[in-house]
A and B are shown apart, each in its own frame.
Chain A
Amino acid sequence: MLALVSPALLVILALIVLPVGWLAWQSIYHDGFTLENYRRVFTEDIYWRSFALTFEISLAVTLIALLLGYPVAYLANSLPKGWSILILSLVVLPFWTSVLVRAYAWLALLQRTGVINQFLRYLDVISEPLALVHNTFGTVVATVHILLPFMVLPLYATMQKIPGDLMQAGASLGASPSLTFMRVFLPLSLPGVLAGCTMVFVLCLGFYITPELLGGGRTVMVSMLVSRNVELYNQFGAASAVAVVLLLSVLAIFFVVSRFISLDRVLGQK
């Protein structure tokens, strides 16, 4: 067995463990051991602001994705097979389009001379174009769109496993459909909610292209801080420290969530 998996293990070692280790090493070693990079991450204003903004945006994106994704997953689960395949394909199809292309598509929709503003002006609803993009709003809209499949799919997977008999049992005991939903279906779907929210939240923490293109330069998320530290300020140590803090936050979130549900059961359909 070990002989069989060892090439794969070596690849993982070479491609993941070594670079991440090197990254962590760079953040604490520069002409000698130093915690300076971490001191700055935790004390300097711009780092705090960037981390705070990143968590705020991730939270907003997660909540919106849940509000939009839950009804979709519910519908896909309750409709006959053909319909549910159609709905799921509509969710998954954009998934295969490059994130960059989708960011530009949102730009075409949201910008001052974009489709939405032109249409609203045509209808005389507005006289001046709305500022829909080059700000946090545009970033959140596009990020929700990109991450929605990561919410819908775990929700759908969980809902699929809720036995239909339970709903019928509830109805036969005299509960209204909404009561059955609240007391039976919703609690049973919670592992999916948690899994979906974790996926979306964690992925959003590392978002880069979308805020870069749609944020107008002011929406500085943590990943952009990493790239700027390398590109602009030539500070590999500082960039590594930011990356390590982000990585540790993600691992901490996974650790906490895995105490409540078995993530691979929901995601891997075991």
Chain B
Amino acid sequence: MTMKQSFGLGCALLGAIGLTNAADAAEQITFVSQGGAYQQAQTVAILDPSAKKLGITINQDSIPDAWPAIKTQVGSGKPIWDVVDTPTGNCLRGGEQGLMEKLDFSKIPNGAAMPEAYRSPYSVSYEFYSSVLSYSQKTFPKDAPNSWADFWDVKKFPGRRALRNHPFATLEAALMADGVAPDKLYPLDVDRAFKKLEEIKPHITVWWTSGAQSAQLLNDGEVDMEMAWNGRVSAVAKEGAKVSFTYNQGILQSTSLCILKGAPNLATAVKFLNEAVDPVHQANLPLNIDYGPGNPKAFETGVIKPERAAQLPSEPANAAKQALMSYAWWSSSAGEAAEKRWASFMQK
């Protein structure tokens, strides 16, 4: 085939794709989440019911870290995704950099009804998870560590430790270990946090980088206590590992939904966003996975049984024991400077 012919064929193919899209003009959006068991659970609890109720098609894509792709897609001027489920910080940072659509909450009543701390001009909370202190019940059959001060106390609680190789939640934990109250954390005293981290650094065996890795460390007895995400610990515990965790001084974190600037199906995306935080859909999520609903009204629907609610990070009583991460602080210039400082802290 000559180059001209192949070029022609390519154009014909592209044309054909364009035509089928036009013919299939029912409303649709492309939704992106983080994959795995989590995306499966939300498909059952939220995505399929929302698609049915709104009469739209939800195309799914998944990526563990959406940020670089968001940046390139919007940067190119022709994003192909509409709605992303991503750590709330990405939505805020994206909003500031002009990568996200500003939301009109008059079109998102379910979002407007949520507490202000749970939303931003660019996003609504979608689900909550928590960075908790978890430990091996084999090493600590009784008198388990129950606070970050205990985690830092290597004399009273000897054992191998792991922390996440990331400043999020780690700096908060360090400050709580140093005596700062969970509701007085922000703005973070970064110097004090790093000073406290230097103290524990020689006792950290592994600085983990993925949730799977953290679960495996605990499961294999490679470490005796670590900071980990609540869902990872309970998954390992369900499989029979002798591990547990406490919500005390946990750091409550969220992913949020936000819409890419110039999203191809903007109007439908907004409709979906409202539907996705509907209290009933939200209440169905924790029946499928160990994450808490982003909309606290979900706990009032009666869908979540009290004993189940007690296990969830965003259940009001559990939330009260924890610190709510301030993504606004983390996406401020002070927060970004702290993130950069992390790299030199790790390599020293």
CB distance from A131 to the nearest CB of B (A): 8
Complex interface bits, A232-263 against B, C-beta within 8 A gives 1, otherwise 0:
11101000000000000000000000000000
Find the residue from A111, A113, A131, A232 having the highest chain B CB count within 10 A: A232
The answer to whether B332 has its CB under 8 Å from any CB of chain A is: no
Residues of B within 8 A of A233 (CB): 336, 339-340, 343
Indicate if A228 sits at the interface (CB-CB under 8 A).
yes
Contacts A3-B2, A232-B166, A234-B67 given: A113-B342 contact, CB under 8 Å? no
When the two chains form their complex, are residues A216 and B207 in contact, meaning their CB atoms are under 8 A apart?
A: yes
Q: Report the interface size for chain B: residues with CB under 8 A from the other chain.
A: 30
* Distance in angstroms between the alpha carbons of A50 and B2 in the assembled complex: 48
A173, chain B: closest CB distance, angstroms? 57
In the complex, which of the residues B3, B65, B344 contacts A6, with contact meaning CB atoms closer than 8 Å?
B3
Contact with A along B213-238 (1 / 0, CB 8 A): 10010001110000000000000000
**B188 at interface by CB-CB < 8 Å:** no
Give 1 or 0 for each of B182-215: 1 = CB within 8 Å of chain A CB: 0000000000000000000000011111000100
Contacts of A134 in B (CB 8 A): 205-206, 222
List, in ascending order, chain B residues with CB within 8 A of A131's CB: 205
Q: Determine the chain B residues whose CB is within 8 A of the CB of A3 once the complex forms.
A: 2-3
A129 to B222 CA separation, bound complex (whole angstroms) = 10
B21 within 8 A of A: no
How far is it, in angstroms, between the C-alpha of A6 and the C-alpha of B1 when the chains are bound? 11
Cα-based distance from A230 to B336 in the complex (angstroms): 13
Contact status B67-A217, CB under 8 Å = no
The answer to whether residues A216 and B205 also contact, given A6-B3, A111-B220 and a CB cut-off of 8 A, is: yes
Whether B321 is near chain A, meaning CB under 8 Å from some CB there, is: no
Q: Is the interface of A mostly helix, strand, loop or mixed?
A: helix
Cβ-Cβ contact count across A and B, 8 Å cutoff: 63
Q: B344 to A46, Cβ gap below 8 A? A: yes
Which residues does chain A contribute within 8 Å of B3, judged by CB atoms? 3, 6-7, 10
Number of residues in A with C-beta < 8 Å to the partner?
Answer: 27
A216-B206, A231-B68, A232-B166 known; A112+B342 contact, CB < 8 A = no
A141 at interface, CB cutoff 8 A: no
Chain B residue nearest in CB terms to A104: B216
**Complex Cα spacing A242 to B315, Å:** 44
The CA-CA distance from A112 to B342 in the complex, in Å, is 27
- What are the residues of chain A within 8 A of B2 when measuring CB–CB? 3
For B221, the chain A residues whose CB sits under 8 A away are 112-113
CB-based contact B347/A213 at 8 Å: no
A220 at the B interface (CB under 8 A): yes
CA–CA, A3 and B4, complex, Å = 11
Q: In the bound complex, do residue A45 and residue B344 qualify as a contact, i.e. CB atoms below 8 Å apart?
A: yes
Residue among B68, B213, B220 making CB contact with A230, cutoff 8 Å = B68
A residues in contact with B343, CB < 8 Å: 46, 228, 232-233
- Which of B67, B93, B343 gathers most chain A CB within 10 Å? B343
Taking CB atoms, residues of chain A closer than 8 Å to B344 are 45-46
For the complex, what is the distance from the CA of A255 to the CA of B172, rounded to whole Å? Answer: 49
Checking A6, A112, A220, A230 against B347 with a beta-carbon cut-off of 8 angstroms, the contacting residue is A220
> Using an 8 Å CB-CB cutoff, how does the interface string of A195-236 with B read, 1 for contact, 0 for none?
000000000000000001100111010000000101111101
Q: Mark A120-139, 1 if CB is under 8 A from B, else 0.
A: 00000000000100100000
Residues of B within 8 A of A236 (CB): 68, 71
Which residue of chain B is the closest to A238 with respect to CB atoms? Answer: B340
Interface membership of B62, Cβ < 8 A: no
B165/A112 in contact, CB under 8 A: no
18 pairs, A vs B, C-beta closer than 8 Å: A6-B3, A7-B6, A45-B344, A45-B347, A46-B344, A46-B347, A50-B347, A112-B220, A113-B222, A230-B68, A231-B65, A231-B67, A232-B166, A232-B342, A233-B336, A233-B343, A234-B67, A236-B71
Give residues in B with beta carbon < 8 Å to A. 1-3, 6, 65, 67-68, 71, 93, 160, 165-166, 205-209, 213, 216, 220-222, 336, 339-340, 342-344, 346-347
Leading 10 A-B pairs by shortest Cβ distance: A217-B207, A217-B165, A216-B206, A46-B347, A113-B221, A134-B206, A46-B344, A111-B222, A112-B222, A49-B347
